């Protein structure tokens, strides 16, 4: 409702026809619901990926504005700031539900047993996490306010749209490094959302240079910020070694599944995987039990981290850990019931 109210106010401020904006807003809502339904139909579970919805809603808004012979860029300005308003409240909902959560930190928000029952990862239960959802909500609220106050101009339609695209992309590039969920795909150290952010910044800059969007300063500033952020991400990647880093957990899950699928290991050499976070995993069999060993390459693995990693390994192979036994040299042995695996 808040986003629709913002759209109505901005439509009046720009002197646009309210009927046209009502059609475009209705198209945006329909696009959101249809994309959510199609995603659930294809994957079997409800997944809302903001960038997928953003691109689809902007495309539909532009097509509807063109079909109504309404000013396309002006309506994209309204759609962008209204969508940002929706995202502000959407991320607050994420914060309450525990989705799109942050990575472990020395302070932050905690999620308990009720969230685990609803699907929150058990290995992060009661750990303080970066409140990344709240940070994004606050940042987007500021983007919307600045966009409406400084960039919404009937004489230069498209400026608020460009500002929203670039400003949010810059914010998302940074905040992705604080995310702790493992479902997101990564390529060459960057998440799907980070690659999308870079693509949108380049597209905005290209459109400005081609004269399709007003001004060149927004895209150039965004490109400069993105370059600085990518360099910072590269430096962080060189130092990233926390066992619960989502990139490492994805690698650990994959290794655990491969090892669990091995028909027999003895007397052949035991395969060993090492994640980019220096976590070593190997596996074998002890009678009717699957035996998984965890350690770290260059520093000790804490017992608390080993217990949480045991949950990750167990969830990857659909078997609850029966025991976690500390061995010499900060090595931990996890016993899993083979019979319980699916």
Domain check: are 187 and 330 in the same one?
no
Same domain membership, residue 114 and residue 83: yes
User: 177: number of CA atoms within 13 Å, CB side?
Assistant: 16
| pLDDT over 60 (residue 339) | no
Of 208, 239, 270, the position where a domain reaches its end is 239
CA 89, 92, 98, 103 dihedral sign is positive
Number of domains the chain contains: 2
Q: Are residues 208 and 326 in the same domain?
A: no
Please give the mean pLDDT across all residues of the chain: 84
Quote the CA–CA distance of 311 and 81 in Å, as a whole number.
Answer: 42
Q: Are residues 25 and 93 in the same domain?
A: yes
Instruction: Indicate if 29 and 169 belong to the same structural domain.
Output: yes
Q: Which residue has the tokens 């220096």?
A: 278
Exposure of 181 in the CB half-sphere (CA atoms within 13 A) = 19
Q: Residue 116: CA atoms inside 13 Å, Cβ hemisphere, count? A: 13
User: pTM for this structure?
Assistant: 0.84
* Residues 230-247 pLDDT 10s: 767 665 554 455 778 887
Show which of 175, 210, 239 is a domain's final residue: 239
Do both 184 and 47 map to the same domain?
yes
265 and 124 in a common domain: no
Q: Looking at residue 254, which CATH number applies to its domain?
A: 3.40.1720
Q: Is 215 in the same domain as 295? A: no
The mean pLDDT value for 263-275 works out to: 60
Average pLDDT over residues 261-271: 52
Q: Contact 53/102 with Cβ under 8 angstroms? A: no
pLDDT above 90 for 324: no
Mean pLDDT lowest among 122-126, 141-145, 183-187, 237-241: 237-241
Q: Which domain holds residue 322?
A: 246-340
Q: Are residues 33 and 167 in the same domain?
A: yes
Q: Residues 87, 193: one domain?
A: yes
**Pair (39, 127) in one structural domain:** yes
Q: CA dist 242 to 105, 132, 221, 237, 295, Å?
A: 10, 18, 32, 11, 13
Quick one: pLDDT at residue 17?
A: 93
Whether residue 121 sits in one domain with residue 58:
yes
């Amino acid at each position: 409702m808040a986003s629709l109210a913002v759209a109505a106010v901005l439509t009046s401020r720009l002197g646009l026809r309210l009927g046209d904006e009502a059609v475009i807003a209705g198209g945006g809502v329909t696009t959101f619901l249809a994309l959510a339904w199609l995603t659930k139909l294809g994957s079997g579970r409800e997944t809302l990926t903001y960038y997928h919805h953003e691109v689809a809603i902007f495309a539909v808004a532009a097509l509807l504005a063109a079909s109504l012979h309404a000013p396309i860029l002006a309506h994209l300005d309204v759609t962008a700031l209204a969508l940002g308003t929706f995202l502000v409240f959407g991320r607050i909902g994420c914060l309450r539900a525990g989705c799109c959560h942050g990575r472990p930190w020395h302070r932050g928000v905690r999620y308990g047993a009720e969230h685990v029952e609803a699907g929150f990862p058990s290995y992060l239960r009661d750990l303080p996490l970066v409140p990344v959802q709240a940070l994004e909500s606050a940042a987007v609220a500021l983007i919307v306010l600045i966009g409406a106050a400084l960039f919404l101009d009937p004489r230069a339609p498209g400026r608020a749209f460009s500002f929203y695209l670039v400003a949010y992309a810059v914010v998302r590039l940074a905040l992705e490094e604080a995310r702790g969920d493992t479902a997101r795909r990564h390529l060459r150290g960057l998440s799907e959302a980070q690659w999308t952010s870079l693509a949108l910044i380049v597209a905005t800059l290209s459109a400005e240079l081609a004269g399709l969007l007003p001004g060149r300063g927004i895209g150039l500033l965004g490109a400069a910020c993105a370059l600085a952020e990518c360099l910072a991400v590269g430096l962080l990647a060189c130092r990233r070694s926390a066992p619960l880093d989502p990139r490492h957990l994805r690698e650990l899950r994959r290794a655990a599944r491969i090892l669990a699928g091995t028909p027999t290991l003895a007397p052949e050499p035991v395969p060993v995987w090492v994640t980019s976070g220096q976590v070593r995993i190997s596996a074998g069999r002890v009678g009717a039990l699957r035996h998984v060993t965890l350690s770290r390459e260059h520093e000790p693995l804490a017992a608390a981290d080993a217990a949480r990693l045991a949950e990750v390994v167990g969830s990857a192979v659909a078997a609850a850990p029966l025991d976690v036994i500390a061995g010499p040299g900060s090595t931990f042995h996890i016993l899993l019931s083979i019979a319980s695996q699916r």
